Amino acid sequence: MSGLPKISDPRILVGFESSDDACVYKATDDLAIINTVDFFPPIVDDPYMFGQIAAANSLSDVYAMGGQPKLAMNLLTFPNGKLPLDAVKGILEGGNDKVCECGATIVGGHSIDDKEPKYGLSVTGFAHPDDILSNSANPGNVLVITKRIGTGIMTTAAKVDLLTKEENDEIERTMAFLNKYAWEAMQGVKVDGCTDITGFGLIGHAAEMARAGDVTLELYSHKVPVFPKALEMAAMGIIPAGAYRNRNYVGQEVMEFLSKDPDRDADLRALIDCLYDPQSSGGLLIAVDESELPRLTEQLGERGCETDVIGYFKPRKGRFTIEIHD
């Protein structure tokens, strides 16, 4: 994309030049149109649950931009004649139920014959132009997270039968939980920036916010909510390849302040591995002034969102965008 001509249309409020979650077009003074698309192969065995997770993931980008999804179109690939039609039906029903839950409508889609099933949505959302959020942050903002992390490690462990049914059910519920509820909790709160946590992991997406705001994030590792089983699996070295790619991509911008205690540092390194873990349908990262925090956390709790303050953005004085503190 970097080789394409720069966008010159003044009505495009957000394009591909930034690392934002979706593009935004200003249709009128009162209406901005948000467009996004996402799809991926199955990460769970149950077709219906896979459809729910993939749809929740696709819808999330609109919420991260401060908008509300309105229209969606299915994107589906599957090996024709090799995947049972009941499985295809389950995927589409799971996606449709999540779209209906958020108040949007599926109005069509496209499918192609492919050797591997993949599913997701092209989503159109609406917002007032003044309500659009970027994946940025200001000095003095605190960073709030709305879901636990570690789902990439957990789904990797599930493939080799290292999870109990209860642990597997828990991560599936988390991934299928819509970020609609976190977006609702932001209403009436002055939010300075927002993004969702997906394939680049917590560190990758937080780094995008820090870069965009030209700030440094002090990340409090012990406050990051992580699935306990993900920490256990990370300590055993059960980590998806995407986590290593994320570390290679952004690791040079991260400073780790370890405790100098060998036993403590071993636990901390497992936690840091989780911070790079690629997420499917992760939660939101919300940058907000500390004065707005009580109302935001109260409204998140009222809507069933897990919420933790995991960091603080400060003026940038060096090359590091993130400092990980024990």
Domain 12-131 CATH superfamily: PurM-like, N-terminal domain (3.30.1330.10)
Q: Are domains 12-131 and 141-325 of this chain identical in fold?
A: no
Contact status, residue 101 vs residue 59, Cβ threshold 8 Å: no
Amino acid in position 275: L
CATH number for the domain formed by residue range(s) 141-325: 3.90.650.10
Q: Which two tokens stand for residue 202?
A: 């917590």
Q: What is the pLDDT of residues 298-316, one digit of tens each?
A: 999 999 998 899 999 999 9
Q: Which of the four pLDDT bands, split at 50, 70 and 90, describes residue 36?
A: very high
Q: Across residues 249-271, what is the average pLDDT?
A: 83
Q: Supply the mean pLDDT for the chain.
A: 93
Helical ranges in the chain per DSSP H: 47-64, 85-101, 151-159, 165-176, 180-186, 201-213, 228-235, 241-250, 262-275, 293-302
Contact status, residue 111 vs residue 65, Cβ threshold 8 Å: no
Contacts of 314 (CB under 8 A, 6+ apart): 139, 140, 215, 216, 217, 218
- Structure pTM? 0.94
What local confidence, expressed as pLDDT, does residue 267 receive?
Answer: 82
Q: Across residues 278-301, what is the average pLDDT?
A: 97
Contact status, residue 200 vs residue 249, Cβ threshold 8 Å: yes
pLDDT > 70: what percent of the chain? Answer: 95
Q: Which of the four pLDDT bands, split at 50, 70 and 90, describes residue 1?
A: low
Contact status, residue 66 vs residue 133, Cβ threshold 8 Å: yes
**Which of 47-51, 121-125, 176-180, 266-270 has the weakest average pLDDT?**
266-270
What local confidence, expressed as pLDDT, does residue 5 receive?
Answer: 66
Residue spans of the domains in the chain: they are: 12-131, 141-325
pLDDT at position 246 over 60: yes
